[in-house]
Homo-oligomer: A and B are copies of this chain.
Amino acid sequence: MGNCIVPYCDGPKNTNVRWTLPAVCFVWQTAMVILFGAFVRYNKEVDAHWPETKIHENITSDIENDFYFRYPSFQDVHVMIFVGFGFLMTFMKRYSFGAVGFNFLIAAFGIQWALLMQGWFHHIDSTDGMIKIGVENLINADFCVASCLIAFGAVLGKVSPVQLMVMTLFEVTLFAVEEYIILNLIHANDAGGSMVIHAFGAYFGLAVSWVLYRPNLKESSQLNGSVYHSDVFAMIACHKSHKYLYVSIFNSAICKHGDGQHRAAINTYLSLAATVLTTFAISSLFQKHGKLDMVHIQNSTLAGGVAVGTAAEFMLMPYGSLIVGFFCGLISTLGYIYLTPFMERKLKIQDTCGIHNLHGMPGVIGGIVGAISAAGATESVYGQQGLINTFVFKDDFKHRTPAVQGGYQAAAMCIAVSFGIGGGILVGLILRMPLWGDPTDDNCFDDEVYWEVPEEEDSADPVLQYNNHTVVNKHAEV
């Protein structure tokens, strides 16, 4: 007990972010205000001139405003980003505040920076050089932040909030570049972001975690476990994540209106369903006594949604989606059981939340599925117009064939992964600088380092104290 208390006491000494965190927050937020003032304006569907615009473009009904195609499930995506992701990480018994709170911080800074970075790449208005934003930009910014939160999962509990801010700054920048290359230059299709978001984010996080390897992490390992109710919290997040994966895909800004979104919804729905069954099977089969492990159910059941992302709006066919989900549940769960421990022992990669199983591998699978299904696309299946719509064989790309598209999809996948690994190593080295106030090995996974934890206000046995106010008397008696 004592030696588990000690870190709480001297922990704060070497992890005081009293000056650095506020400084970073204030300075960067001020910078955002200035940059937004200089570069960001409303686009024409947001601007109050819309009534004139409307007449001008003879749009009959307000419901034609892009807003109404997107916002219904947009807030789901948005709120998932803001808090939901954090809950998936609340499974640790003493790190719920950090998981949820820092998620919040990353998201808040990330979306602002993403609006700028993505704006510079995609939404510069040639007439006045301004970034013109609308609801579509907000969605893209949320997706960009999603990749940051995925990476957060790998380093959860081992870094300081300041390090997270720095990591977000660089990751968002890299994301914008990677996204631009994959979607615009290579013209790959990635509606659900299996490659752009999940694979990139996961390998970025793993690379950072590898550079920041902590040999003595075992010392705080008694905190790196779950308690009964914390697992139920995480299950709530799983719930949210399902919704998130679900809506994020057909809500994707690059998903085609109409049949494209409709197809994406169905493919995701089926893939998620299939994943659940195989996850249960593997979890039960490979555990002692054939008991199920809640961690697998919380996480692997989402893998199917990740893996169907790239091909979500393709003619994957219902059975195709089921097959994708089937294998994802299988691979992801086996990853938790065998790969994660192996990576920690042999490869020195400490993956707190097992993002490699939930985002890394499924993301890569998604990329492969996308490449294959694109290469195999035929006019008989898609229809002439359908083929053009789905793969946007227009303008510079109007002579591209499905076969060639397949090749580019594969290339895109490699780019996403290498950007992730390369960028992660780079950022990891920056984060190793001693000035960020990161915790020592023996007070990782502990909220007490950066948070006022209610228990502290009273003495000794935490839980008793707070589910039980008479303990005070018990102590009095002693």
Q: Could you tell me the distance between the alpha carbons of A25 and B310 in the complex, rounded to whole angstroms?
A: 26
Decide: A277 near B109, CB < 8 A? Known: A36-B318, A452-B294: yes
Which residue among A86, A115, A133, A266 has the maximum number of chain B CB atoms within 10 Å of its CB?
A266
Does the CB pair B51–A100 fall under 8 Å? no
Q: Which residues of chain B come closer than 8 Å to A263, judged between CB atoms?
A: 42, 46-48
Determine the distance from Cα of A122 to Cα of B301 in the docked complex, in whole angstroms: 30
**Nearest-CB residue, chain B, relative to A61:** B64
A258 touches B (CB below 8 Å): yes
Chain B minimum-CB-distance residue to A463: B466
Query: Is B323 touching A291 in the complex (CB atoms < 8 A)?
Result: no
Chain B residues with CB below 8 A from A460, complex form = 4, 222
Query: Taking the nearest CB of chain B, how far is it from the CB of A303, in angstroms?
Result: 13
The answer to whether B100 touches A232, judged by C-beta atoms less than 8 angstroms apart, is yes
- Is B383 within 8 A of A266, CB to CB? no
Check if B281 sits within 8 Å of A25, measured CB to CB. yes
The smallest beta-carbon distance between A272 and chain B, in angstroms, is 8
Give every chain B residue within 8 A of A461 (Cβ-Cβ). 4, 93, 222-223, 225, 462, 466
Chain B residues near A12 (CB-CB < 8 A): 289-291
Provide a sorted-by-A list of 15 A–B residue pairs whose CB atoms are within 8 angstroms.
A4-B461, A50-B262, A52-B383, A54-B258, A87-B235, A87-B236, A97-B294, A101-B297, A108-B275, A138-B266, A227-B464, A228-B455, A236-B236, A294-B452, A461-B462
Within 8 A of B (CB), among A58-102: 61-69, 71-76, 78-79, 82-84, 86-87, 90, 93-94, 96-97, 100-101
Contact between A17 and B290 (Cβ–Cβ < 8 Å)? yes
Q: Is A280 an interface residue (CB 8 A)?
A: yes
Considering the complex of A and B, which 5 residue pairs feature the smallest CB-CB distances, nearest first?
Answer: A18-B290, A48-B386, A466-B466, A108-B276, A227-B466
Q: Contact at B42–A318, with CB atoms within 8 Å? A: yes
Point out the residue from B1, B222, B454 that lies within 8 Å of A227, measured CB to CB.
B454
Q: Is B33 in contact with A228, judged by CB distance below 8 angstroms?
A: no
Q: Mark A125-143, 1 if CB is under 8 A from B, else 0.
A: 0000000011100100000
State in angstroms the CA–CA spacing of A319 and B390 once bound together: 36
Q: Which residue of B lies closest to A330 (CB)?
A: B26
Chain B CB within 10 Å — which of A29, A37, A133 has the most? A29
Chain B proximity of A442: nearest CB distance (Å)? 12
| Of A187-195, A201-209, A240-248, A392-400, the one touching chain B | A240-248
Q: Is A261 at the interface (CB under 8 A from chain B)?
A: yes
Give the residue name and chain of the B residue nearest to A40 (CB).
B318
Tell me whether A453 is interfacial, beta carbon within 8 Å.
Answer: yes
